[in-house]
Amino acid sequence: MIQYKINEIFETIQGEGSFTGQPSIFIRLQGCPVGCSWCDTKHTWDIELSDEVTKETLLAKSQETSQWATFTASDLYSLIIERGYKAKHIVITGGEPCMVDLTPLCSTFDNKGYSTQVETSGTFDILVPEACWVTVSPKVNMRGGYAILESAMKRANEIKHPIATEQHVDDLKALLAEHAIENTPVYLQPISQKSRATELAIETCIANNWRLSVQVHKYIGIE
């Protein structure tokens, strides 16, 4: 039985991509070696044994930390019921959640009437059930040196690409051409809500018939 290293669990509104506005339960896993310079969850990168805490300690924390605790899929489902969460959409994120097999986790919730979504960099094999919605946010030429897998690009239900410069747009176009991606919805997401990045994203979306993802949760001030 897989023990998942969990950094936090919370209920909110999905603020990105196709499910923007959807009430969602976020399950954030600890660990990511990709090394994105603009990452807003850098506290989830390292898996230090000294940061392992009890489930009770993890659930009581009130701010972002690198602490994590282990949960099975059954543990997570029981916790969500205990907390009385109403959302029926599960978002599995990180960190890089695809460092581990997510099939048991997704299947547990699928079998209970939830929908599941995984957010991944596309640099690890995506082990999820067919029903799971996969958001690939391809991280090109990052510090960790990981390549984007063709299997990840082909599995994506949507591609969500953070941009701030024309180079980021060029990187995405090259990636789409390399893997012959034509019909998968593409979202551009301005990095850090900067005005120039937003203008570039809007212009590029119109020119390519892509979609804009503006991280609604950050604009309205929720987690």
Residues comprising the binding site for Mg(2+)? 41
Which residues are part of a known binding site for S-adenosyl-L-methionine? 38-40, 95, 137-139
Helix %, strand %, coil % of the chain (to 5)? 35, 20, 45
Distance CA 88, CA 25 (A): 8
Sequence-ordered alpha helix ranges (H) in the chain: 55-60, 73-83, 103-110, 150-155, 166-178, 195-208, 216-220
- Going by C-alpha positions, the residue among 81, 49, 53, 84 that lies closest to residue 68 is 53
Task: Supply 160's token pair.
Answer: 């969500």
- Going by C-alpha positions, the residue among 111, 105, 84, 94 that lies closest to residue 43 is 94
Which residues are part of a known binding site? 13-15, 28, 32, 36, 38-41, 93, 95, 137-139
Counting Cβ atoms within 10 Å, is residue 212 exposed (0-12), middle (13-18) or buried (19+)? middle
Amino acid, res. 201: A
Which residues are part of a known binding site for [4Fe-4S] cluster? 32, 36, 39
Task: Supply 72's token pair.
Answer: 């099975």
Which residues are part of a known binding site for substrate? 13-15, 28, 93
3-state secondary structure of 92: strand
Distance CA 22, CA 16 (A): 10
Amino acid, res. 93: T
